[in-house]
Amino acid sequence: MIEQTLLEQLVEALRVMPGIGRKSAQRIAHQLLQRNRDGAKHLSRIMADAMERIGHCQRCRTYTENKLCHLCENTRRDDSTICVVENPSDVDSIEETNYRGRYFVLLGHLSPLDGIGPDDIGLNEFKLLLDNEDLKEVILATSSTVEGEATAHFISEMVKASGKEVTRIAHGVPMGGELEYVNSLTIAHALDGRKAI
């Protein structure tokens, strides 16, 4: 067998990225070699550094290379609200809105069949946050999948027991969505959640 060339190894290694198949990897490898070796070297350094140094925020569990993430360190955020999400990427999505409260990242959802219980999604740490006097409301923004709903239900019971307010983000027809392309369960939720105008 002929040994793999360095270019073949690069194409192979690029496929570690989600959504990058063999053809895309070949195109990326050739383009970087031809047009942007400096950019690729920079990416290589940042990637090694990120994989080595990025851990989880001690308070909200999102990704950070420090003890606390930049959101938890920001003293201007509203301490009265905490938004619970499944993944660090959900924090980015919510940051694009005008929400300015705190976050808590579960890094997953309850899944008893896979042996993922409350402690595995950080609910022991979350309990400590619930004791904070300033906290008034917990917003549950887990996915609207079966596991996400079950996780939201479990956490809502915890929050109620602590005497704080707990809310769930609204489910309904997406903005710009046409009714005929929205599934019936979503429409049922949209009807249930109707508001006076």
Where on the chain is the footprint of a copy of itself (CB under 8 A)?
2, 5-7, 9-10, 13-14, 16-19, 24, 26-34, 36-37, 39-54, 63-65, 69-70, 87-89, 92
Q: How near is the Cβ of 93 to a copy of itself at its closest, in Å?
A: 9
> What distance in Å separates the CA atoms of residue 150 and residue 66, rounded to the nearest whole number?
32
Nearer to a copy of itself, 35 or 153 (CB): 35
Smallest distance from a copy of itself to CB 88, Å: 6
Nearer to a copy of itself, 82 or 86 (CB): 86
User: Residue 27 or residue 153: which is nearer to a copy of itself going by CB?
Assistant: 27
Cβ proximity to a copy of itself, 52 vs 133, nearer residue = 52
Residue number with CB closer to a copy of itself (31 or 162): 31
CA distance 110 to 118: 7
SS3 per-residue string spanning the chain: CCCCCHHHHHHHHHCCCCCCCHHHHHHHHHHHHHHCHHHHHHHHHHHHHHHHHCEECCCCCCEECCCCCHHHHCCCCEEEEEEEECCHHHHHHHHCCCCCEEEEECCCCCEHHHCECHHHHCHHHHHHHHCCCCCCEEEECCCCCHHHHHHHHHHHHHHHHCCCEEEECCCCCCCCCCHHHCCHHHHHHHHHCCCCC
CB of 35 to a copy of itself, least distance (A): 9
* Least Å from the CB of residue 92 to a copy of itself: 6
Closest approach of Cβ 122 to a copy of itself, in Å? 15
